[in-house]
Chain A
């Protein structure tokens, strides 16, 4: 049975790109356009993997990631960050939030800075969910 992969991004071009990559590799794409909607969809749909942007309306990928990795029932879902925001910034921001009193969270399973080639994205997804 095809696995479901959630793409969380507010850029329509990226959404179309990721959707195509997923469909061509026999995954079922799920789409959310901000972190708030993405988190609701993760809780409802329990996707096999999440591809997550960082800078988005409503709720950033940084907060959504933190929510996921702090939730016992969601923390094992692998997350690929796909963003224009540098990995160094992502990690520093998580450290800053931990310093402010939140629980520490692990590094994401993979971090890809935009743009990405379709093959690289597909290979990264396959490395986690086959």
Chain B
């Protein structure tokens, strides 16, 4: 990723269950970094208006659901327009994932913000995780936003103190480069690496210490890159189960968000892949920003 990334235009996906206007307000700090355009998307799931025996297509229900969403979006849009923001809205009937992807492409957004969407367990067994599906099919960063902190307070500035989890893959490097461009928004980055317990299985204490030293040096090099652009940074090495340790680190270090790179494909060695990305996005108490490896250049 050579070109500087900025979040100018955001797709804000809401089913009016998990994300409300205060969730969007919590992201307004991004305006310091050029953010000025919100596109709302509400998807009326097909089965809510689908053909039913003896009833036909539920046109009345669709009109009702559309207008309910419209009333909310108008209210939100008025607030944003008055701040000089640009706002657009889509209220569509269909399946949520394809609609997110097609709208993001049509609008050319720089960030997709969603809540925690989980398929029912049985459906997930066959179709997989919705979050992973989205990551596989988009080259746009995805923020799975949880705007309530574990303390119960609203996370007013999620970009203030992100925790950046690195596994030294190219996807991780993308996440570093991405976050480096947010110097107007990010105050401090907590950079961590989680080493699996297997890494430390050795007869030689020297060997284990060498591994530790190597990781610490890599972490410090990343911190120096942040310091060079004026962002405070601290590094920590954790050992154990990846998801658990990332979540623990986020709590310990009072992070406001978890950030990681993801290839969205199969190489299972990468930290944020597969189950890790899914678990963090769906279960972590913290907003989770996932940067795809094939991130599109700004404005494309």
Q: Is A90 an interface residue (CB 8 A)?
A: yes
Q: Is A62 an interface residue (CB 8 A)?
A: yes
Docked Cα-Cα span, A130 to B14, in Å, equals 44
Docked Cα-Cα span, A59 to B78, in Å, equals 15
In the bound complex, do residue B78 and residue A86 qualify as a contact, i.e. CB atoms below 8 Å apart?
A: yes
In the bound complex, do residue A55 and residue B82 qualify as a contact, i.e. CB atoms below 8 Å apart?
A: no
**Which of A34, A57, A59, A89 meets B82, CB within 8 Å?**
A89
In the bound complex, do residue B89 and residue A62 qualify as a contact, i.e. CB atoms below 8 Å apart?
A: no
In the bound complex, do residue B74 and residue A93 qualify as a contact, i.e. CB atoms below 8 Å apart?
A: no
Which chain B residues border A60 with CB–CB below 8 Å?
A: 81, 86-88
Which chain B residues border A58 with CB–CB below 8 Å?
A: 88, 106-107
| Size category, B interface | 10 to 19
Docked Cα-Cα span, A58 to B9, in Å, equals 11
In the bound complex, do residue B84 and residue A55 qualify as a contact, i.e. CB atoms below 8 Å apart?
A: no
Instruction: Name the CB-closest residue of A to B88.
Output: A57
Docked Cα-Cα span, A87 to B88, in Å, equals 17
In the bound complex, do residue A57 and residue B87 qualify as a contact, i.e. CB atoms below 8 Å apart?
A: no
In the bound complex, do residue B81 and residue A99 qualify as a contact, i.e. CB atoms below 8 Å apart?
A: no
Q: Is B39 an interface residue (CB 8 A)?
A: yes
Instruction: Name the CB-closest residue of A to B71.
Output: A84
Which chain B residues border A96 with CB–CB below 8 Å?
A: 81-84
Q: Is B77 an interface residue (CB 8 A)?
A: yes
Docked Cα-Cα span, A109 to B39, in Å, equals 28
**Which of B81, B83, B86, B90 meets A85, CB within 8 Å?**
B81
Residues of B58-91 at the interface with A, using a CB-CB cut-off of 8 Å, are 70, 73-74, 77-78, 81-84, 86-90
With A62-B86, A63-B86 as known contacts, state yes or no: A57 contacts B107, CB within 8 Å. yes
In the bound complex, do residue A89 and residue B81 qualify as a contact, i.e. CB atoms below 8 Å apart?
A: yes
Which chain A residues border B87 with CB–CB below 8 Å?
A: 55, 60
Docked Cα-Cα span, A19 to B86, in Å, equals 27
CB distance from A46 to the nearest CB of B (A): 26
In the bound complex, do residue B74 and residue A92 qualify as a contact, i.e. CB atoms below 8 Å apart?
A: no
Docked Cα-Cα span, A57 to B74, in Å, equals 13
CB distance from B27 to the nearest CB of A (A): 19
CB distance from B99 to the nearest CB of A (A): 13
In the bound complex, do residue B78 and residue A57 qualify as a contact, i.e. CB atoms below 8 Å apart?
A: no
Q: Is A56 an interface residue (CB 8 A)?
A: yes
Additional 19 contacts, C-beta under 8 A, given A60-B81, A86-B78 = A54-B81, A55-B73, A55-B87, A56-B88, A56-B89, A57-B88, A57-B106, A59-B86, A60-B86, A60-B88, A84-B70, A85-B74, A85-B81, A90-B81, A93-B81, A93-B84, A96-B82, A97-B84, A100-B84
Q: Which residues of A contact B (CB under 8 A)?
A: 34, 54-60, 62-63, 84-86, 89-90, 92-93, 96-97, 99-100
Q: Which residues of B contact A (CB under 8 A)?
A: 39, 70, 73-74, 77-78, 81-84, 86-90, 106-107
List of 3 A-B pairs having minimum Cβ-Cβ separation, nearest first: A96-B84, A93-B81, A89-B78
